[in-house]
Structures are given as structure tokens and as C-alpha cells.
Structure 1
Amino acid sequence: MRTQLVRWGTVLVAAGLVAVPGQQVRVVSTLDVAMKVERDGRLSVTETVSVPPGREISRVTSLREPVDGDRERRYRVRDAVVTGSGSADVTEDELRTTISGNATVTYTVDGAVAELPHRQEVRWQVADGWDTELAEVRASFVAPVQRASPITCLAGPPGSGRQCGLAEVDHTGVVRAEHSPLAAGERMVLAVGLPTATVTANAAFVSAGLGWPWLLALSLACLLALALVAGGIVVLLARRRDAQAFGVAEPVEVLLRDGDRVRFSSPDGVLPGQIGTVMDGVVDVVDISATVLDLVVRRYLDVRPDGEGARELVQLNAPGPELHDYEQTVLATLLPGEERVLSLSRLRGRDLDLTPVIDAMYDDAVRQGWFSRRPDRGRGLLPPRTARGRLLAGQVRGLLNYLHSVRPADIPAADRELVFTRSLPYAAVLGGVERWVATFAEDERLAGRGSDLAAFLVELNGLLAESEHLRNR
């Protein structure tokens, strides 16, 4: 409660509603956006804009969003109405709004719902193209069902992968996102996953269409030669972009602060078991082991002594729809049927079929939008990593920098255990678990728990690798 009061007190002061003795109050603009997707796929949007007296702000939002390659996504906005002091103008390509004072803008978006493999995604630019800084942007999203996952909220310059300050589902099932401040020209984008066939998909993806008519006059031989050269350049550039993604660490905020508290947040919501595939395009045993460790940290599983000097995995909580398909497959593979306990000693020499897990993890990498196709198919061709996947690869290097540089003193004591355990599977998949445990060596309880889980990970890695070897011999 104290954190909430401090936080809202800060907002009130920033908005000029509370005076601070001896200080000049900075008067700023804020934006609240309420979104609701209907069964027919239309997205109803209500924007509440607060502008200081005597000021006028405007925005230009493009209704064309570059995707990958030469494609773009096109939205259509209709029925734009401004209540209060302001105006709205909509063309085929842009939404323009001018506000002075306080006003409410309502409109309908077509094209916000895309059908992806195994799920739908509703995506809209909550704030984009404003010509002044917004002190705070708040957004809410409501759907016909209360099963929203995953949730992606990005805020910053166009093309950046910086996450919003807050993105969560509240106890009523409403998705809520916040970010402050949002600089002039920056944008905030919210994408919410929904179960397949929840609403009518209406996203429109079209070719950007460069239109070079003189190409039509070229002979077939010249066209073929040109295509071969262009294809080689595209492959070279794509591979170079992939290499650059590995070499450059994108800035990423891993520890999100709320007053005097912090919480761990991975870039683009990536899970430990997904990182390896994003980075090298290959599902390895360590990716599966990191997934198991992450399920332990998130209390779906527990590691306990079995009474005979060995360790055992125990299911604590039943998996629900919040888990990814590959996580469900990992659990079903290790604990098939009604089994709830697995002694690791039983895995030794066992011909465990990990193929369903590996397939599910490759499929997941495509489903998340990090690859245009499964990276294990068509090797040697054009690298299938998307722009989003390349950005995430750079952000993972930023995550690695966090694991190498954070100090216990950077984390409030009340949050230290949670941050330590949530980060541990990421350290494991990135090869830094020993370093991570050593960083917290002064806390004997955390270091002891980390050492136990690290030893479990080493044992599990060996058993799964042995199982794969037996299956492939």
C-alpha cells in the first residue's frame, strides 16, 4: 500500500495536481487508452488525453507497419470522434489528432487481430507519433475471454525492444500496461495473445510494392542472373545481420523498479528454454534442462532427495493453459500419465524419447515470431530469424551483461530471493550458473539453494544427453 501511495503521489505532483513547497511544478500531458476487442474482430479504442491549459499537442500515427522483408501490415481506423477540445482526421495511411485541454478520442480499428500458429494476437499502437512528452501512458485491454497470453508491451523509439514499465493481467482478467515517461516521437505498442478462434481475425499483410516497371523489359536470362545475384546478397546481408545480433548487446531493462521494489523481467518475455534456440537455431539438451529448472523455480516441480541418496522430481502444481506447449510436453515426457514423481536414478540408461519436446520447442520459436520457419529445416538457406528474433538475440546479450554485472546490493533485500531464483535458469542456459551462485555467496541460504539446483542441473543434463545418445546410436 505504501508503494502505491508513493507512486500515485509522484504522478499527482508530476501532473500539477499537488504543489510542492519551494518547487516549480512541471505541468505535463498524460494519456489513458482503453481497448476492447469484439467477437467480430473490431478493436474499440477510447483515449483520454489530459493537456495543460493553454497547450496544444498533436500526433500522427501511421496505419502502415513494416513487418519483415518487403511486407507491411495495414490497419484501418474509422468512426473517429473527439469529445472536448480537439480534432481527429483519418486517411488511408494516417490517424491525425490535435488536442488542447482535456479531451476523449474514440475510434474503431480494423486489422488488429492476426491469426498465428496455435493462437491469435491483437496488436495496436497505444501511443505513437505524439509531438510532446507524455508523463504517463496507461492502457487497458479487454477480450471476450480471460486467457490473455503472451503479453508484449514495448515502449521507446520506433524499432526498439525496450519493454514497458508494467504489463500484466489483473485479478479481473483485464490486461493493464503502463509506461512513463514517453518522449516525443516515441511509441508504445501492446500485443496480446488469445486462444485460437476467440475472435474474427482481420489482419491485412500486403507487399510494400516497389514497382520497377523497367524490369519487365529485361530478358529472361538477365532476370535470372539478377535474381541469383540479389539472392546471394540477401543471404549475405541476412547472415551479417544475424552475426551483428550476436556481437552487439542491445540495452535491456532486466530489473524493473516500482518505488523501492524491483522485479525480474526477461526481454520480450523470453523463457530460459527458448533462449538457446533464438541464439543458435538449435534445440540442445541444456535448453530442455533449463526448462525443467525454470518449472522448478515457478513451483510446478520440486527437487527433493528420494531417501536413497538420489534426487527426484515431484510435481507440485498441475500445468494449466498458462504454460507453453513445449513446457506441457516436457512435463508429459518426464511424468507421463498419472505419474507425479520421477527419481533421476530411473533415467540412467533409459531410452527417453525427447523428439516431441524438441519438435515443440522449434514450433514455439516460430509461434513467438522469432523465426519465419523452423530453423532445423532447410539449413544452409536464408537464415529464418526475423527482425524481432535478431533484436531479441541482441537483447539476450544484454541479459548476459546483467548476469555478469548485477550485485546483491542492487536488489532490495525483500526482493533478493525472488530475483535470484528467477534469474538462475537464465544463468544456467547461458553457461553462467556457477558465477551467478558465487555472486550471492555471502547469503548462505541463497547460495546453498543455488548450489543444490546447479548440481541437480548438471545431473539432469548428463542423464538427458545419455538418453539422446542411446536413442540415436
Structure 2
Amino acid sequence: MSPKRRLLPAALLICLTAPVAGLFVALSPVSAQAAGQADDQITAYTADATLTKDGQLQVKETVDLNAGGTTFSRTLTTRVRSDSERDRTYGLKDVSATVNGQPAQGFENQSTDDGRKLTLNVSGQSKIVYSYTVDNVVADTTEGREVSWPIVQGFAVSVPTANLSVSVPFATWVTCFAGRTGSSMPCTSSQLGESADLQIQQNGVPAGGRLTFLTGLSDQATVQANAQYSTRWSLGRAFTVDSSTIGLAVIVFGIGLLGAVGLWFFRGRDAAKVGEGAPERPVLDGADGPQFAAPDGIRPGQVGTVVDETADVVDITATLLDLAVRNYLTIVEQPRESHFGKLDWELQRLHPGGPELLPYEKALLDAVFADGDSVLVSTLGPSLRPRLNLVREQLYADVVTQGWFNNRPDAVRNRWTTAGVVLLGAGVVLTIVLAIVTKFGLVGFAVMAAGLVLALVGQAAPARTARGAAVLGRVAGLQHYLANESSSTLPQSHRLEFASRCLPYAAVLGLTEKWALEIAATDDDDDPDAGIGWYSGPENWHLSDIGESLSNFVTAFGGSLTTARRLFG
């Protein structure tokens, strides 16, 4: 292989990696700064400190430096870990610095998260003198009153030897720790002089390390404890589980629960107790024989809304069946294209409807036949989509007009749900605030839970009037009749019409199959049937098949409503 070919892969690799390396270097100012600090060298360090009678420590530090750059920085930490939950905090004031006996040029005293960053201009051989006063250095402990301060700290380079002299009146003992942050390694030497001066020496303090002295005071000391502590935030502390937090959370949730239940008791209950409902026989005996008669003339769609306080798919479907039975439209089952082909039905309008129709019935009729007097169920979804809201609005308005509710059930639910969501949101905000500043985050959870309860209770809040409660009792009686009785006791000539009139009510009360079979039972021969007026099937269709046909129709039409509007709220 030629030298050119041997060098080509290496050249390509260099070309590809050089820009990436250059970008990394350009985006790494911290590395450059660290390199500058590494060029600095501390050759000597001494410190003198005195504890004043008011519990403040006056500190003077002298640092001999061979500067590798034009600036030098250190950080005095004022927050030190005390125990598993608390930090000890110190106060710094009167901070100043000189360089070679002159006020430091470019001196900056900047606040950081846990202390003060001191920066000044230097060049070459420099003698830096830092002066400051530290507060909160005296603490009461189980061992007595003690004074402590991490006096050597915040240097980005190592200190070869540190010599300290600390004057603490009435000091009785002294100890010292040096090394990395959190180290418990004792200093090279620490002793208490005859005049209560602490003499401390440490050979080698690593870059970023600390030297902390700790001394005890005798009972004769008059200086008062002034140590301050701050609780360290943690998720466990924010959501502390103890008697106080649990107790307060239970109280808050209990108040919210009682409030929600109280609102329901006074505002959400029916105006009268609903009875179990005696069997309601919907048969009116007249000159032409027995006829179907719904209790109080209630319509199927109204039944569903009174029962569950919601205008939903079942109510709309039952209303359409009722309109068909009353000859406003006919349902024509279409022949399948194959044995496993999809079922479909054509709805044909027979009558435009007049004032005898309730507004929601007329709205549904117009919505279904908005594009013509015939429509396939399979095509209803897109055409019904913009029209169903009006049907639902009219049905809710109707139950208020009838005097069964004082207010629209959906509006009542919306108010309660909105109040619950607002309380839930307030609970979220309160949880965040309490978790940040206290240990009572669980109380915010309790408020959130109370909001959720309010929203859930609100679903049962629409209150029926006394008249509405009475109608509901009669509907319960009608349901009892439809579930347990049949049309077999009626004359044969009236059974088909009676069962057909019962079917929409059975559909809204979950008894479609039973009353579809009642209609099918009127088929007394083996011949194909043309239909029963409001429902007709394809060729060779038998009335005895209507049970399956109606079940499929209810499912298909309800599905088209669900597609048109993802269920009603």
C-alpha cells in the first residue's frame, strides 16, 4: 500500500474529529476557568479569629498566593449540613479584602445559593488579607454551649499548611476536622492555650476542602447561643406522615366531604321521596278495546332523562322508535349483499310532524331527515354531527318545562363539576406551596380529594321536584310491569299494537329484547311478512325475526349517534 493510501484514513479521521473537539473546547468555559485556577498556588495561610461578647466571630485571613491569572476567587459557605433534616446557617457581614496592603481592585462579593463568592484582581506574588464577621456561631448542644465555624474553606487550590489562632473566652476544649466536605478526620494539631486561645495547625487542606474548628464554653461564659437552622427540603419532609399532618389532612378532607354532602342534602336531593312504585299497568280499556296509555302521558325520551337525569343515546334511540310506532317514519331493513354482509336500514319519513310533537321530538325528526325524506342509518353519522346538540338541548329544556326539574340537569352538573374542578385546582396549587415551605403537603392532597368528591357528588346533584319524584315513582311502576308482565293477556287483535307501543319504553328501560320477542310472538304463520307498518324487512323476512332485527337496529342507530357525538354529557 502506498504511503498516501496509508495516511488517507488518518487524515479523514482528524478532519472529522477536529471540529467536534474544537466545539467542545469552545463550549467549555468552566474547563478554561478551572485550568486558570489550577495555575494558582497558595504558599502560606494564617488566620486569626476572635469571639466577641455578642457571639460574633471576627475573622482575618492572610493568604500568600502565586497567581496564575489576573483574578482569584473563593467561596465562603454559609449553609452547612447539621443533621439528616436541617442545615446550620451562618451570617456574613463587613466583608473586605486587601492585596499587598492596598484595597483589593475589582473586588466582588456575590451571593450564591449557599454563601458568598469573593473575587478580586491579582498578579504574580500577592498577599491577600480577607476580613469579615460571622454571626450565628454559638450553639446549645447536649454537650453544652459550643462555638464552630469552617474557617478554611472555598479555595479551588490546595493549602499546604494552615495555621490558626482563635480567641474564645472561657473555652474549655477544642477539636478540629479537616479534609473534603463532610470529613471527620482530625486536624494535624489543635490545642487550647493558657489564655483560652485555640492554636490549630493542619498540614494540607485539599482543593475545595475545609477546616472546621469546634470548641466548648464553660458555664462562666456569658455569650448567648445564636445558632440558626433551616430545614432542608425533601420530598419525604414535604409530605411528612405524622399525627399533625394526618390529623389536619383528615380534618380538611372531612370538612370538604361534609360540605359536599351538605350541599347535596340541601340542594341536590329530590323534593320528595321516591316510592318503590306499584306495578303500573299501561292499559286503558276503551270502546275499541284495550289501548296502551303511558303514565301521565310521559314519552320514552322523557322517561330516560327523568330516570338518570341525562339525555343520552338510549333516550334518543327510544324516541326514534316511538316516532316510528306513531307513524311519523318507517324503518325498512335492507337486504344483505351477502350472507355475511353488513346490515343496514332505510328510514323513510311519513309525516312532517306538527304541534302535537314535543320540541325535542320535532328536532330529532328534522335532524334525521335534514337531507331528504329517506336516509340510510349507515350514512347518518356525518349528517347528525352538527344537529344533535339541539335535540339534547330541547330534551333538557322539556323536563324543566314539564315541572320535573327546577333547573336543567346538565347545567346543575356543570356547576358542581366546575366548582369541584376549581377546588381541585386550588388543591394542586396549595399542595405545591405547602410542599415547598412546610411539611403539610398532605393537606393540599386533602383539598384536591375534596374537590374530586364535590365533582363526583355533583353528578347526582340534579334535584327532581315533587312532581318529578312522583313521575319517577310511576316510571318505576311501569318498569315493573314491562319486566314482569306480557301482552298475552290481551286480545290477539290488540297484542301487536300494544307490544309495539311498549317497545320504545322497554328500550329506554333496558328491556328491548323482551318486548321485541312479544312482537315476534304475534307471528302466527310460516309465511313471509311484508312488515308491521312501522317496520318492514327484506324479501322472505318473517315477523318472528323482529327480535333480532330490532336488537341489531338499536345497536346500529345508537352507534351512529355515538359516532356523531361521542356520547352525551
Q: TM-score range by the shorter chain?
A: 0.3 to 0.5
Q: Which protein is bigger by CA-based radius of gyration?
A: 2
TM-score, scaled relative to structure 1: 0.46
TM-score, scaled relative to structure 2: 0.39
